[in-house]
Amino acid sequence: MMQKNKPILKTLAGEKTDIVPFWFMRQAGRYLPEYRALRAEAGGFLNMVYNPKNASEITLQPIRRFQMDAAILFSDILVIPQALGQKLEFLAGEGPKLEALNVDSDLGFLNPDKIDDVLNPVYDTVTMTCDKLKKEGFDQTALIGFAGSPWTVATYMVEGGGSKTYEKVKSWAYGSPEKFQQLIDILIVSTNHYLEKQIKAGAEIIQLFDSWSGVLDQVNFEKWVIKPTAQIALNLKSKYPDIPIIGFPRGAGTMSLDYAQKTGIRAIGLDFTMPCDWAAKNLQSILPVQGNLDPVMLLTGGKALDAAVYHILDSFPDKAFIFNLGHGVIKETPPEHVGQVVEIIKSYKR
Ligand code: CP3
């Protein structure tokens, strides 16, 4: 059963808490020596993701050091394309590589009915992580499940990996929207299923990562970011009304307001380019917000880091707020810098 008294769940219910709850995107990962040790033993990233014992262990690693208010499932947004049947590799130091789709591809091979053949270990990780959190006494820490939003996952499926310009995926979406909609629909169905199963396995919060929502013009942002996100939020809320959904439309700028109002998400994650005063006035007034320390500030440390943390904390005094980064922890970050931020947040009273 879900414990509603966990601080982050109170915040997501809209309550202003005295102590600000916090977690960090990519809080489990290469900046932690214990992660690097386990990775060397497991022999690669995907061997950790699809091994519930390894993945749950990695999920717990940052919690043991820093007692975050949320643990986040150790997995990746690209397990969905892989489970659908697209070839995926993570080459050390190079990031993900997928066999790219294009507008002429026959999408028939992408099969949403069979994704659990690949994804079952991820659901086991969720359950195992819940058990470990309880057993180790982290009864204030909630478990976040997640997926990439359809648009962002589609960018990787079409570009074949990261991209500087997103020309291929944008050209397809702009030039052949009906065919692109077929791909997005496959992703909506799969993502809904994947997240429902994470919730059934024990996830208490869902975060939707839309890392590349910021590369679209307004009309296409509405079509490919807001609409699919709204379909997922509507489905999850109809089945699991108590599970809060955090949307993270990175780079969306002032379009975040439309996103907050039209998608039906419960809370919004801010990237570090978002001005705190604008977000407090326009977003925090209507829903809980989460953010938004620049990960490079966390890497830098020192007095600049202290000042940046206080600036953020001081910017959102009135309503529900969760402290986080504006993007993921960078792998060269000294863990002590994370400790420095945690100390400030824990002693900060609103
Ligand atoms: O936040 C967490 O601690 C939970 C785990 C998590 C990972 N990826 C683990 C990971 C989460 C939530 C993600 C989300 C993710 N994955 C996103 C959305 C957030 C964002 O960063 O914008 C995206 C775009 C991906 C796709 C992805 N996975 C890329 C581009 C890369 C390579 C870049 C990099 O940072 O190495 C990955 C690999 C990846 N996913 C690693 C981790 C810990 C590094 C794997 C390793 O080499 O050990």
Render pLDDT for 6-58 as a digit per residue (tens, 0 to 9): 999 999 999 999 999 999 999 999 999 999 999 999 988 999 999 999 999 99
CATH architecture, domain defined by 7-347: Alpha-Beta Barrel (3.20)
Residue owning the nearest CA to atom 35 of ligand 1: 95
The region that residue 23 occupies, defined by phi over 0 for left and psi between -120 and 50 for alpha, beta otherwise, is beta
Task: Establish whether residue 77 lines the binding site of ligand 1, counting it when its CB lies within 6 angstroms of any ligand atom.
Answer: yes
**Predicted local distance difference test score (pLDDT) of residue 3:** 60
Residue by residue, DSSP assigns 229-277 as HHHHHHHHHHH-TTS-EEEEETT-GGGHHHHHHHS--SEEE--TTS-HH
Distance in Å, CA 182 to ligand 1 centroid: 26
Q: To test the ligand 1 pocket, which listed residue (76, 82, 126, 294) has its Cβ within 8 A of the most ligand atoms?
A: 76
Mutate to test the pocket of ligand 1, among 26, 141, 163, 210 (most ligand atoms within 8 A of CB): 26
**Phi, then psi, of 223 in degrees rounded to 5:** -75, -45
Atom of ligand 1 at shortest range from CA of 25: 1
* Catalytic residue selected from 31, 35, 123, 156: 156
pLDDT at 1 over 80: no
Q: Is residue 74 within 6 Å of ligand 1 at its C-beta?
A: yes
CB of 248 shorter than 6 A to ligand 1: no
Over the stretch 218-244, which tens digit does the pLDDT of each residue have? Answer: 999 999 999 999 999 999 999 999 999
What average pLDDT does this structure show over 301-319?
Answer: 97
Q: How is 3-67 classified by DSSP, letter by letter?
A: -TTSHHHHHHTTPPPSSPPB--TT-SSTTSHHHHHHHHHHTSHHHHHT-HHHHHHHHHHHHHHH-
Residues 93-143 pLDDT 10s: 889 999 999 999 999 999 999 999 999 999 999 999 999 999 999 999 999
| Catalytic residue, candidates 35, 39, 50, 194 | 39
Residue 2: pLDDT band (50, 70, 90) is low
Catalytic residue among 35, 50, 76, 271: 76
Residue-range domain boundaries for the chain:
7-347
Specify the DSSP element, H or E, that contains 112: none
Q: What is the pLDDT of residue 65?
A: 98
Is 156 tagged catalytic?
Answer: yes
Q: What is the mean pLDDT of residues 191-217?
A: 98
DSSP, res 222: I
Band of residue 76 on the pLDDT scale cut at 50, 70, 90: very high
Ligand 1 near 271 CB (within 6 A): no
Instruction: Examine the residue annotation and report whether 185 is marked as an active-site residue of this protein.
Output: no
Mean pLDDT, rounded, for 165-172 = 98
